[in-house]
Amino acid sequence: MKVLLLNPPGRRVYIRDYLCSKTTKSNYLFHPIDLVVLSGTVAAEHDVRVLDCMAEALTVEAAEARIEAFAPEAIVSLVGAVSWPEDRAFLARQAARGRRIAALGDVLHEHSERRLAEEPWLELALHDFSNADVVRWLARDEGALEEATARRADGSIERVRRGTRKGAFRVPTPRHELFPRRGYRFSFARREPFATLLTDYGCPYPCTFCVIGTLGFKTRSVEDALAEVDHVRSLGIHELFFLDQTFGVVKQRALELCRGLALRRDLSWTAFTRPDTADDQLLAAMRGAGCHTVILGVESADDARLAAYRKGYDVAAVRDGFRRVKRHGLRTVGTFIVGLPEEDAGSLRRTLELAVELDLDFLSLNMAVPRFGTPFRRQAIELGLCGEDDLVMDQGGADAFLPTKHLGRAEMLALKKEMVRRFYLRPRYLLRRLSSAASPGELARQAREGLALLRRNV
């Protein structure tokens, strides 16, 4: 069967990825990991193509022309809360041309039966891209689905929940060569092109604002992960972005993976981890395997807030973690959530003070949004900060996000933009950024990303 994996076009640069959606905060755009993983699964049995309209900057008309040229029988598409009106209109037109449509994204993660009832063009909502449900759907074997919401032949709609949420999973090696060679941009990459990989699925931590912690937690074997790395290397790509939510959460597995990566001797990469996970043994192994940048969640400068949102560590642990990372010569990215219900101007000031104290190489500020299926969404609804039917939300801050108990949306956004400017426009910081670039190409990318970030925060 001819199957298209689609990241739809849009008015803005949307990131639809891993049951989240947002606008890009600067200029970055990495490979949508859902489609990356599904590419191997679908290609094992079908003639598959990938059309990433975000990476190729395609208009609606150009995207439709490309789809007509391939003439797929089925489309598996990303959708997002941040782009839902555009996505549903585009996909409804494809369904009207006789194509079967499956979709996955944050807007389908909650109340999926209602979504399918409202959208007659949609046959299937995928809730887990690490299994073979997409192949079962293509074969019209709905009775074998594990984690999906399906429209049956008789018109009935059923949410199926019988998949494995813990343990191991296997997928055929993703087909990275199907994705555009150009168009993806990553702020922390040392060189281009780069590839985005996933060696585990979900997250074992219960942070209340994060949807990925609601998915369970499964790991791929180190052997399978390294086979994918070698496939990427065969394409001439040696820069990697591991999108695992916490690299090293299963420590011995991470050390084994690092040993395998180190043997390749030609890789450089970035990964997420946690301040309390990044011990000296893990960091030494990561550095020896080619890691150059570590992204760590800080989220807040307030211990009570970290406890309330179930982060599992305090600010002292954050400080210790960042000190260890720097001691091993790795660049640091600190991620913060701003705009939680308790936020006021004073707490934002303390957040900026902590970011400066930690001497971050990069600061990432994310607006608090009520992700579908999260405890934080229920809390925001109970507090009257959002409604049950509010769909559009954007942690990048370009569109809808939450007010707080003390700050309206406009004031919240203005303060967030001020924090970005105050952090990145410090003369000492700018000098360090200029002097730390490893090559003229990296310096050019840093300048491009920095200018894009500042344009969005003036």
Tens digits of per-residue pLDDT, 388-402? Answer: 887 767 777 766 578
CATH H-level superfamily of 186-455:
tm_1862 like domain (3.80.30.20)
* Amino acid in position 429: Y
- The secondary element (H helix, E strand) that includes residue 20 is strand 20-23
How far, in Å, CA of 28 to CA of 450, rounded? Answer: 10
340 and 368 in contact (C-beta within 8 Å)? yes
220 and 168 in contact (C-beta within 8 Å)? yes
For residue 413, what pLDDT is reported?
A: 86
pTM summary value: 0.95
Say what the alpha-carbon torsion angle 299, 301, 305, 306 is, to the nearest 10 degrees.
60
Would you write out the chain's pLDDT as a tens digit for each of its 458 residues? 999 999 999 999 999 999 999 988 778 899 999 999 999 999 999 999 999 999 999 999 999 999 999 999 999 999 999 999 999 999 999 999 999 999 999 999 999 999 999 999 999 999 999 999 999 999 999 999 999 999 998 999 999 999 889 999 999 999 999 999 999 999 899 999 999 999 999 999 999 999 999 999 999 999 999 999 999 999 999 999 999 999 999 999 999 999 999 999 999 999 999 999 999 999 999 999 999 999 999 999 999 999 999 999 999 999 999 999 999 999 999 999 988 999 999 999 999 999 999 999 999 998 888 899 899 999 989 999 888 887 767 777 766 578 889 998 889 888 988 999 999 999 999 999 888 888 888 888 888 888 888 888 88
Question: The domain 2-151: what is its CATH number?
Answer: 3.40.50.2300
How far, in Å, CA of 350 to CA of 299, rounded? Answer: 12
For residue 435, what pLDDT is reported?
A: 87
For residue 400, what pLDDT is reported?
A: 57
Same fold, 2-151 and 186-455: no
* Burial label, 431 (beta-carbon count in 10 A; 0-12, 13-18, 19+): exposed
E-only strand ranges, 130-274: 147-151, 157-161, 166-168, 194-197, 200-202, 217-219, 239-242, 268-273
| Helix axes of 409-424 and 427-436: crossing angle, nearest 10 degrees | 60
For residue 280, what pLDDT is reported?
A: 98
Say what the alpha-carbon torsion angle 212, 361, 351, 402 is, to the nearest 10 degrees.
-40
The vertex-407 CA angle with 401 and 408, nearest 5°, equals 55
Domain ranges in the chain are: 2-151, 186-455
For residue range 84-111, list pLDDT tens digits in order: 999 999 999 999 999 999 999 999 999 9
